[in-house]
Structure formats: C-alpha cells, structure tokens
Amino acid sequence: MDNKKIKIWLLGSLFLCVQTTFAQRDKGLEAITLPSIQAQTAYLASDLMQGREAGTVNAARTAEYLASQFGSIGLKPYFPKESGILNQYMQPFSAMRCSNFKSQLSLKNDLGSTLFFEENIDYQVSGKPVVDAKLSGKVVTYDSLSNHRGSFVYYKGIPSGQVIADLKSQGALALLVYDSVSWKQNIEKNAFRYHYNEAIYEGEQPRKIFSDTKLVVEGENLQTFVQINISEQMAHLLKSSSTTVSLTLSCQQEQVFLRNVLGIIEGEKSDEYVVIGSHFDHLGVQNGYIYNGADDNASGTVAVLQIAKAFVASGVKPRRSIIFALWDGEEYGLLGSRYFTRNCAFMNQIQGYMNFDMIGRNHDENNPESVVFFYTANHPQYEEWLKGHIRHYGLSLKPVYKAWDNPVGGSDNASFAKQGIPIAWYHTDGHPDYHQPSDHVDKINWNKMIDIIRSAYLVFFDMAQEEEDKE
Ligand SMILES: [Zn+2]
C-alpha cells in the first residue's frame, strides 16, 4: 500500500474502532434495567439491613452483600491475593465509637456559693468533644491583646475561626459563647429534634439525635477544643467578678470496625485511574425506629452496582482503569472515602471522581425530572458530556448545573476534591424524609433514578476514555 492508501486504511479502521466502541457502550446501557434497580434498592433499604449504621454488624452485612455483587458482576477485587485480606473486595479500617456523652458544669461565684447548670437548658457542649476531662479555671472575657492560658474564655457573639485557633494555641481551657440568635436556634432545634425539617416522623417519642454518637478514625486528633454555648442568664452570671467554672466531660469509647468495598476494571493505561463511588452506610436504628435510607443512599449505591454491570456488559476495555467504590462511614464524617484517599499510594494518578448521594427523590413534586449536577468548575466538559447524552438518548432529566470552584462539601466528593481531583456529583436535593425513618423505598422516583444512572454511565464512560490529563 502506498502512503495515501495507508492513511485512508488507518482512518477507516479508526472510524470502525470508534463505531464499535459506541455500539459496545450502548450494549452496556441496555444492562441497566429497572427490575434490577428496584430489587437492589429494596433489599438495601429493607428492615433486614437495620439502617446500615457504620461500625455495626448491619453495615458489615451490607458490605458482604455488595462485595458479592461486585464478584458476580465480574469486577476484579481491589486487593491482590498477596495482601492476605480474606475478602479482597474489602478495605477494612477501624474507628473509635464514642457515645453516652456526659457533662457537668458548675460555677463558683465571688460570694462562695456554687451554682449547678443543666445541659440543653442552660448550656450546650458544641460538637461533642471526644475527651474525658475535668477542667477548672477562672472566667475571663475575650480580649484580642491578652493571653488566655488556663482560663475559661467568655465570648459574646460568634467567634471566628481565627479567634478559636488563637485560643487553642494559647492553651485556653474552653470557650464559653453567648450569641442570642444561635442560642435560640440551637435550643429550638434540640426541643424539636425529632421533627427535624418538619418531616413526618414515625412514632411519638423523641429520638436520640445522631450526634449523640460519634465515630473517630484512629490516628486522627481525638482531642477537640471545647466550645460551650450558653444561655443569656448564664452569660449574665459569668460576667460578675472572680467566677470560677468547673467542667467535667466524659464519654464511652470502644473500637469498631468499618470497611469500604472496592472493585476494579483494568484499563489500557495502568497509571491512570478514574473512581466512581457512593456511601452505603446510613443512620441505623434509634429508639426502635429503623432509618432505612432508601434515597440516602441505597439509591446511589445501586447506581454504582448498575454502572459496574454496564461496563462489564459493554465488553470495552476502558483507556483508564476504573475503581468502583462503596464507602462506609459517610454519615459520621466521610470516614471511608477519607480513609481511602489518605492511604491510596497512587492518588496523583486518579484523573476524576464521580459521586452519588441521594438520587431517587423529588425536591419539588412539580419538577420531577430535576437533578442537581455538581462538578469541578474548571472541567466544563462534564456538563457538555451530560447535555450531549441527554439530547442523544432522549433522557427525561432536567439537570441544574452547578459548577463549583472547590467542591469540598456535601458528600464523599469532598475527600477527592481536597486532593485536587476533579469531581462530578449527582444529587436530587433535600426532601422532608431526609434523615428520617420515613426515607422509604416506595417513595423513590424510579423513572428519574434509572435515567440518572444511564446518564452517569455515559458521562463516566467519557471520563474513563478521556485522553487529556488533569491540569
Ligand atoms: Zn448520604
């Protein structure tokens, strides 16, 4: 063949190649089916799973199911045999569970009498610090020019991050904050905590608030600077001279075990990866009420399972290697995805991350096709790809595109965005059953959920095939 003929032949085979890839991609799309989506979501959100709380046997049971799904789909386990890990899809890690937080706060005034205060009436310990401590010291009013070492520091208004950092470094004992607006809001939230977000609550009894338990990953800072929000009356008493405050804090601690579920499809490039993930944990059982978490986040978990199945069905060996990830411990502060990103040896080879958290409900019943599509702002191609696929395949979706400069909030996307990895995140926004026992499977908008999964498969396919490296 002469040069010209070779060129034509090469172009022709390239064209055929692209055509075959598209045909194969469509074959994968057909593997995403409504009955399997419904069956998997119903199973994950069934009472049998007991709300999938991280650190409990119920999350472990869920993870075992998910690993078995990865296996039957045909994903390669993330860990090699040599790792010695029994189930090679599982990434185990441990955390401390802290619960039964207790505090006692008393005040000795200059007349020598001691006053005792009651938590949630006179004061609230902010953020539930994981610490057993007995603290005692004089109260001083905050002054930017003084050193507050060994004191309880009284602050009126809302302290800035800088004020808190300064007090910490000076060795102040604790911060006593009075802010009339936030105090009122906190106390009201506390009083009505079982009617959070005006949801229809199942049952009559107040439930334990979620922050009554905390999971902390080992190796992270267990000590938290103590901030106490106080009532107006208490603020008044503190301001009288030579007041001494005594504070006792305690909580119960035990070690618990968590696990991420990870599977791989190897691509042509062994040094370029894309990751697609969802958290599978939810809020467990509180006061006898099961938090089934059908939308949050059985829906997202099923998206990852379906997209894994679609990739295998397509038969395409992607350009980049794909990691399918189901995270544990998101509800306790992104524990699973953070553990992964902190321990992954090839973070600089990860070129993109796609996240799902709550993709099954309508924020506005009059706009049932709406979905929020967050993405890293300097990757506008993600929005273009999604628009193109919705048009081409006639998907019933009306995305609200939210380009985000630094998408470090909301869900597991934050763990990746913090490491400079571009992200895309599907989310159908809030609703009255959010974080309620009434987040049930019968309320899912299946037509929207399946089209979100289809579109995400197509966009993620583009992410996996993309030639360009991240900047
Ligand atoms: Zn969630």
Stretch 132-146: mean pLDDT: 90
Compute the distance from residue 469 Cα to the ligand 1 centre, in Å.
Answer: 30
Compute the distance from residue 176 Cα to the ligand 1 centre, in Å.
Answer: 32
The helix/strand count (H/E) of the chain reads as 11, 18
Looking at residue 471, its pLDDT comes to: 45
Looking at residue 365, its pLDDT comes to: 95
Compute the distance from residue 327 Cα to the ligand 1 centre, in Å.
Answer: 10
Looking at residue 17, its pLDDT comes to: 64
Q: Please report the beta strands in 267-397, taking only residues with DSSP state E, as ranges in sequence order.
A: 269-279, 285-286, 289-290, 320-327, 350-356, 370-376
Looking at 194-315, list the stretches that DSSP marks H as alpha helix, in order from N- to C-terminal side. 232-238, 300-314
Compute the distance from residue 358 Cα to the ligand 1 centre, in Å.
Answer: 6
Compute the distance from residue 35 Cα to the ligand 1 centre, in Å.
Answer: 23
pLDDT higher than threshold 60 for residue 195:
no
Compute the distance from residue 351 Cα to the ligand 1 centre, in Å.
Answer: 24
Stretch 248-269: mean pLDDT: 94
Compute the distance from residue 84 Cα to the ligand 1 centre, in Å.
Answer: 31
pLDDT higher than threshold 90 for residue 189:
no
Compute the distance from residue 304 Cα to the ligand 1 centre, in Å.
Answer: 14
Compute the distance from residue 435 Cα to the ligand 1 centre, in Å.
Answer: 9
Compute the distance from residue 44 Cα to the ligand 1 centre, in Å.
Answer: 14
Q: Are the C-beta atoms of 417 and 406 separated by less than 8 Å?
A: yes
From residue 165, alpha-carbon distances to 136, 157, 226, 259, 399 in Å are 21, 16, 12, 33, 40
Stretch 93-122: mean pLDDT: 89
Q: Are the C-beta atoms of 229 and 186 separated by less than 8 Å?
A: yes
pLDDT band at 224 (very low <50, low <70, confident <90, very high): low
Taking ligand 1, which is a single-atom ion, which protein residues have CB atoms under 5 Å away?
296-297, 357
Compute the distance from residue 235 Cα to the ligand 1 centre, in Å.
Answer: 37
Looking at residue 131, its pLDDT comes to: 75
pLDDT higher than threshold 90 for residue 9:
no
Compute the distance from residue 278 Cα to the ligand 1 centre, in Å.
Answer: 8
Compute the distance from residue 394 Cα to the ligand 1 centre, in Å.
Answer: 28
By CB neighbour count within 10 A (0-12 exposed, 13-18 middle, 19+ buried), where does 256 fall? middle
Query: 3-state DSSP: the chain helix, strand, coil percent, rounded to 5?
Result: 35, 30, 35
**Dihedrals phi, psi of 241, to nearest 5 degrees:** -70, 160
Compute the distance from residue 216 Cα to the ligand 1 centre, in Å.
Answer: 18
Looking at residue 192, its pLDDT comes to: 46
pLDDT, tens only, 384-394: 999 999 999 99
Compute the distance from residue 311 Cα to the ligand 1 centre, in Å.
Answer: 24
Residues 6+ apart with CB under 8 A from 440: 45, 292, 294, 433
Compute the distance from residue 331 Cα to the ligand 1 centre, in Å.
Answer: 7
Compute the distance from residue 293 Cα to the ligand 1 centre, in Å.
Answer: 8
* Average of per-residue pLDDT values in the chain: 89
Compute the distance from residue 427 Cα to the ligand 1 centre, in Å.
Answer: 9
Compute the distance from residue 280 Cα to the ligand 1 centre, in Å.
Answer: 8
pLDDT, tens only, 416-451: 999 999 999 999 999 988 888 899 999 999 999 999
pLDDT band at 129 (very low <50, low <70, confident <90, very high): confident
Of 226-235, 372-381, 447-456, the poorest mean pLDDT is in 226-235
Compute the distance from residue 189 Cα to the ligand 1 centre, in Å.
Answer: 21
Looking at residue 440, its pLDDT comes to: 96
For residue 209, what are its two tokens? 């608030």
SS3 349: helix
Q: Are the C-beta atoms of 314 and 28 separated by less than 8 Å?
A: yes
Catalogue all structural domains in the chain, each as residue range(s) with its CATH number.
29-94+258-465 (3.40.630.10), 97-254 (3.50.30.30)
Residue 137 is classified by DSSP as: E
Of 76-85, 195-204, 231-240, 270-279, the poorest mean pLDDT is in 195-204
Compute the distance from residue 296 Cα to the ligand 1 centre, in Å.
Answer: 5
Compute the distance from residue 10 Cα to the ligand 1 centre, in Å.
Answer: 48
Compute the distance from residue 436 Cα to the ligand 1 centre, in Å.
Answer: 12
pLDDT higher than threshold 70 for residue 259:
yes
Q: Are the C-beta atoms of 75 and 308 separated by less than 8 Å?
A: yes
pLDDT higher than threshold 90 for residue 286:
no
Compute the distance from residue 29 Cα to the ligand 1 centre, in Å.
Answer: 25
257 or 185, which is more confident: 257
Compute the distance from residue 270 Cα to the ligand 1 centre, in Å.
Answer: 31
Compute the distance from residue 335 Cα to the ligand 1 centre, in Å.
Answer: 12
Looking at residue 210, its pLDDT comes to: 61
Looking at residue 443, its pLDDT comes to: 97
pLDDT band at 204 (very low <50, low <70, confident <90, very high): low
Residues 6+ apart with CB under 8 A from 242: 109, 110, 138
Compute the distance from residue 325 Cα to the ligand 1 centre, in Å.
Answer: 15
Round to whole Å and give the CA distance between 305 and 129: 37
Compute the distance from residue 203 Cα to the ligand 1 centre, in Å.
Answer: 23
Compute the distance from residue 77 Cα to the ligand 1 centre, in Å.
Answer: 25
Compute the distance from residue 283 Cα to the ligand 1 centre, in Å.
Answer: 10
pLDDT higher than threshold 60 for residue 202:
no
pLDDT band at 405 (very low <50, low <70, confident <90, very high): very high
Looking at 315-443, list the stretches that DSSP marks H as alpha helix, in order from N- to C-terminal side. 335-343, 381-393, 413-417
pLDDT higher than threshold 70 for residue 85:
yes
Which residues are registered as beta bridge partners of 261? 90, 326
Stretch 224-244: mean pLDDT: 84
pLDDT band at 198 (very low <50, low <70, confident <90, very high): very low
